[in-house]
Homo-oligomer: A and B are copies of this chain.
């Protein structure tokens, strides 16, 4: 725990099968006009939409519809959301869906009262909001992104072929999030497993940095072990409430700032995956899955102790009589096996990328430091080729 840091995460979480009841406690804290944000409309089929509308009406709210948020929310959709909020003088943004809806709601929240173009201000110039920020609440229907308890908001600009995440401060975090594991059971298995890999990778990005023996590393290992254990149960039986609930809870704690305290973080898998995502529009978790093993194999020699620790602590690799390199390699092999078992062993080709996109994806990849090796452009290209 070296360095100075702060931790402030005021989001209230309501968890469990009856969690939606707490919407009745939260709604009175906010204004009358609620912008109801959701995705492709699956919540209208599974009854969640009706339940929420009933609660909103009971609480005397005026509902403004804002559906059709796409899996990778676009800058055009952001402009539309801002227009809806302005035209209706919206007081409160209620996102119902997965990370896309929640990210989008946060992006709208900082843009409604902002005079600048939000894409330029927040995603190109990475400035912080100075305007009044609309409060956001979230009813989560997919576990993965952790967006329900953080300030992150990823927006995609197809014209510029950029998919960029801005991590805002605690003033942008949702005021509350409702986490009912049963809501996640309506998802197709493919989306569940993409979400599971997203969770796992969030933890990896914060874990693979530093040489100290940080409490955050132990907490990261704990979350990884819980995700692995529950993912294997959920893949066999997606209706297993216990497994789905542990996955949902891990998702929140994997990316709510806790496990990065006192650590550098890497995030290169996200940079590579998001760049590929801007080209292919593939599911976020799967783009991460496609690039991560080639990336980790590449950086392993630079962080060999940590990769050996990962093998031993997370995967239970037997260490007796083995070199550190053998142990570390075995850890990544076990990780590859697990990815196969849960069905996220994909390549960028599987996701629609082609050889001629490599240079463009490499151009769109933001190179960060914080991990065990700062990549150069040749290395980015090489990792992308290995991921095809």
Docked-complex contact A225 and B218, CB < 8 angstroms: yes
A247-271 interface code vs B (CB 8 A; 1 in, 0 out): 0111001000010011000000000
Interface residues in A148-207 by Cβ distance below 8 A to B read 181
List A residues 1-53 near B (Cβ within 8 Å).
1-19, 22
Instruction: Collect the chain B residues with CB atoms within 8 Å of residue A16's CB.
Output: 1, 3-5
**Complex Cα distance A241/B262, Å?**
13
Which of A65-73, A209-217, A273-281 forms contacts with chain B? A209-217
Q: Does A368 contact B (CB under 8 A)?
A: no
> Does A221 interact with chain B (Cβ within 8 Å)?
yes
Does A7 lie within 8 Å of B12, measured CB to CB? yes
Determine whether the beta carbon of A8 is less than 8 Å from that of B15.
Answer: no
Residues A215 and B223 in contact, CB atoms below 8 Å apart: yes
Alpha-carbon distance between A55 and B223 when the two chains are bound, in angstroms: 40
User: Is A245 an interface residue, CB under 8 A from the partner?
Assistant: yes
Residue in B closest to A11 when the chains form the complex, CB atoms: B8
A215 contacts which chain B residues (CB < 8 A)?
222-223, 226, 246, 249-250, 253
In whole angstroms, what is the CA distance A183 to B249 when docked? 34
Q: Smallest distance from the beta carbon of A143 to chain B beta carbons, Å? A: 11
Q: What B residues does A15 contact at CB under 8 A?
A: 1, 4-7, 261-262
Evaluate contact between A6 and B1: CB separation under 8 angstroms. no
**Complex contact A249–B1 (CB within 8 A):** yes
Given contacts A215-B223, A225-B218, contact A246 B12 (CB under 8 A): no
Identify the closest chain B residue to A180 (Cβ).
B4
Residue from the list B1, B212, B246, B261 in contact with A214, Cβ < 8 A: B246
Q: Is A340 an interface residue (CB 8 A)?
A: no
* B-chain residues with CB within 8 Å of residue A3 when the two chains form the complex: 16
A375 touches B (CB below 8 Å): no
For residue A16, give the distance in angstroms from its CB to the closest CB of chain B: 3
Find the B residue at minimum CB distance from A244. B1
Residue with the highest number of chain B CB atoms closer than 10 Å, among A6, A215, A253, A261 = A215
CA distance A5 to B249 in the complex (A): 12
Whether the pair A218, B226 counts as a contact (CB closer than 8 A) is yes
Answer yes or no: A298 CB below 8 A from chain B CBs: no
Chain B, residue nearest A177 (CB): B7
Shortest CB-to-CB span from A96 to chain B, Å, is: 19
Q: How far is A5 from B19 in the complex, measured between Cα atoms in Å?
A: 8
Give every chain B residue within 8 A of A11 (Cβ-Cβ). 8
CA distance A262 to B6 in the complex (A): 26
A17 to B4, CA, bound (A): 7
Query: Of residues A7, A16, A225, A241, which shows the largest number of chain B Cβ atoms within 10 Å of its Cβ?
Result: A7
Chain B CB within 8 A of A377 CB: no
Residues of B within 8 Å of A346, CB to CB, are: none
Whether A64 is near chain B, meaning CB under 8 Å from some CB there, is no
Q: Is the CB of A245 within 8 A of B262?
A: yes
Q: Known contacts A223-B219, A226-B218, A249-B262; decide if A6 and B2 are in contact (CB<8 Å).
A: no
Can you spell out 25 A-B residue pairs with CB atoms less than 8 angstroms apart?
A1-B15, A1-B242, A1-B245, A2-B241, A3-B16, A5-B16, A6-B12, A6-B22, A7-B12, A8-B13, A10-B10, A15-B261, A15-B262, A212-B242, A213-B226, A215-B223, A215-B246, A215-B249, A215-B253, A218-B222, A218-B223, A218-B225, A219-B223, A222-B222, A245-B262
Nearest 6 interchain pairs by C-beta:
A4-B16, A222-B222, A218-B222, A1-B245, A8-B12, A7-B13
